[in-house]
Amino acid sequence: MRAPTVVIVLSCLAAGGCNAGNSAMEGAGQFGAGFGAAATAPMDVLNLRPEVIPTVLLQARANPYDMRNMSRCSTIGAEVGRLDEVLGADMDEPPPVDGRYMSERAADATAQAALGAVRDTTTDFIPGSNWIRRLSGAAQHEREVQAAIQAGRMRRAFLKGMGMQRNCAPPAAPSWFVPARRSTR
């Protein structure tokens, strides 16, 4: 190999090595940031730290088909946006491009696995944790959270359907929907 080629190859290897090192450091940081929540998981079993249900999901659970103040595409789109904030992207949205290096994804997966192990270890020592979850109300609260999430998803789908019916552009309709042009007679 010529000297410039060797320099380029060594630079690429060094950059890859630096990236792997940075990925490992980010994974360690992610583990450190999530360690507190994983270590205090028994508080969830005892229902000492219940998850707060966002207001938009409570409203959806109360009436998922409510159309008050939803007469315009902009208001439908705004409500879909509020639901997207708490639920994440809808199924009609393309998944975000993951431009991370493989080493970054591996570090992320390793950190998540380690946090899961810590969470499992801290909750496994509680004898009869299933019964404790029932008696403490944690199981019931988890069911309420899941019901609110399901109602939010139903409301978002309903609103997007209404947006399509009213010929609204996304986000008041699915991302693939193209509103028909209105005639200008």
Q: Which pLDDT band, with edges at 50, 70 and 90, does 109 fall under?
A: confident
Q: Could you tell me the two tokens for 117?
A: 């192990």
**Is pLDDT larger for residue 27 or for residue 158?**
158
pLDDT for position 6: 40
Q: Residue 18: which of 108, 103, 96 has the closest Cα?
A: 103
Q: Residue 79: which of 88, 92, 70, 87 has the closest Cα?
A: 70
Q: Is residue 125 predicted with pLDDT exceeding 60?
A: no
* 94: DSSP letter: P
**Is pLDDT larger for residue 5 or for residue 124?**
124
How far apart are the C-alpha atoms of 163 and 153, rounded to whole Å? 15
pLDDT for position 36: 54
Q: Residue 147: which of 26, 60, 42, 37 has the closest Cα?
A: 60
| Cβ pair 26, 105 in contact under 8 A | no
**Is pLDDT larger for residue 11 or for residue 22?**
22
Q: Which residue has the tokens 């966002």?
A: 54
Q: Domain boundaries in the chain?
A: 23-91+123-175
Q: Which pLDDT band, with edges at 50, 70 and 90, does 51 fall under?
A: confident
Q: Is residue 151 predicted with pLDDT exceeding 80?
A: yes
Q: Which residue has the tokens 């409203």?
A: 59
Q: Read off the pTM.
A: 0.61
pLDDT for position 4: 45
